[in-house]
Amino acid sequence: MPQFHFVARSSKGELLEGLLDCTDRAAAIREVEKTKGFPVRIQLATAANAKEAPAAAAKTTPDPTGAIAVQTLSYDQQHLFTEQLALLLGAGMTLDEALQILVRRMKHPKMHGLAKKLHQALVEGRSLSQALKDFPKIFEPLYINMVAAGEASGTLADILKRLVTYLAEVKNLRDRVQQALVYPAVLVVVGFVMVIFFMTFMVPKLMKFFTDTNQELPLPTRILMNVHGAIAHYWWVGALAVVGTTMLLRTWTATASGRKQWDTILWHIPGYSSVLRHRYYAQFARTLGTLLLNGVTLVRALELIQDIAGNVYVLERMKLVQRSVVDGVALSNAMTQQNIFPELFSDMLSVGEQSGRLGETLNNIADVYDRELDKQVRMISTLIPPLVMVGIAIVVGFVVFGILSAVFSMTKGLRPGGG
């Protein structure tokens, strides 16, 4: 019976190495997964001895092609890398083999460099989760902790598959919000440009004709001329006001107190806050449920997702929620006390706590608020276009009224006996 040399990582993170007598390599992988932990490398004993020297050389020999500095990856690239690694591990490959294949397969320079650096860290005896910490701009603590949980439990392939699903759902959530608001945003910009163009280029030609008559113009026409004059001669005041306001806002929000006050305002703005809140509820429930289903403790999971909203106002309250949970308060009660989650959310969460299926319940809650978010986005994207059109109609109507008032005034003066 052939012997296989194995390198595995135990549930405590220790690197284990030894020999196994098995009928084939697949049986050796199953044996390691059953008794030793997560397999990192498995090969025939003779081949293992032959590769010891190259492996040792890999620790000290610099990369002749030069290491590619991997700073950031796009969301799509991170999703693709995770998906490919999950597929390879799910096919029965060891982590060492999977990363070697990714080094050969990934053509994009950054993704190729990432796979190469992770494989090099593995050769040096580090775990995958430890190696991921070298790329904080790519992999968030939540991602790294889920990978660490998978390594500890020997279910890294399953964890990565869940991460793939999670990343896809989060991306889908972001894309839905952005795509739904693109059309209203474009419409607002186009409407603003049309009004400025009309007031800057069309109105002056008409106004010149009226002023040449040397007649007293009606009030609406005079207002229209004054507005045009303000835009034509004092546009730079408006530009300076916009720049100054932007700089003041940035300076204010750069301070701790200013950022907290600004985030509090954002959380309570009618309309906008509705989309912001529902997006947070869906992402919070999805992320927390994913962590709990993958073996992360509730306290640790709450710590990892505290800043998922990117809002200081919410962050401070989530810290209080975590502190209450540490003190023994039920999560649903702790969240109710902070008044940032709706009653429906807390009620559904309480049912999950009582049934002992908190992770599954959180995923169901995420589905509920995904649907609510879609409703909110559709409603806003439906309301904005007619509101913009009404605004444009009011401006154009006022311009037309000002012009017609002047025309009627002139024709009245031209009639026999007029004036």
Q: Is the pLDDT of residue 217 over 50?
A: yes
Percent of the chain scoring above 90 in pLDDT: 11
Q: Which CATH superfamily does the domain covering 166-419 fall into?
A: Type II secretion system (T2SS), domain F (1.20.81.30)
Same fold flag, 71-139 and 166-419: yes
Q: Is the pLDDT of residue 244 over 90?
A: yes
5 closest CA partner among 16, 15, 26, 19: 19
Percent of the chain scoring above 70 in pLDDT: 81
Query: What single DSSP character describes residue 200?
Result: I
- At residue 240, the pLDDT reads 92
Distance of CA 33 to the CA centre of its chain: 35
Q: Is the pLDDT of residue 61 over 60?
A: no
For the structural domain made of 71-139, what CATH number should be given? 1.20.81.30
The whole-chain average pLDDT of the chain stands at 79
Q: Please answer whether residues 22 and 162 qualify as being in contact, where contact means their C-beta atoms are separated by less than 8 angstroms.
A: no
Distance CA 359, CA 353 (A): 9
- Higher-confidence residue: 398 or 42? 398
Q: Is the pLDDT of residue 1 over 80?
A: no
- At residue 38, the pLDDT reads 62
Q: Is the pLDDT of residue 247 over 90?
A: yes
- At residue 35, the pLDDT reads 65
- At residue 345, the pLDDT reads 92
Q: 38-42, 137-141, 191-195, 343-347: which has the highest mean pLDDT?
A: 343-347
108 closest CA partner among 59, 52, 63, 70: 70
Distance CA 68, CA 66 (A): 6
Cβ-based neighbour number of residue 136 at 10 Å:
11
Q: Please answer whether residues 326 and 320 qualify as being in contact, where contact means their C-beta atoms are separated by less than 8 angstroms.
A: no
- Of the listed ranges 33-42, 102-111, 362-371, the least confidently predicted one is 33-42
What ranges do the domains of the chain cover? 1-58, 71-139, 166-419
Q: Is the pLDDT of residue 402 over 60?
A: yes
Distance CA 350, CA 362 (A): 10
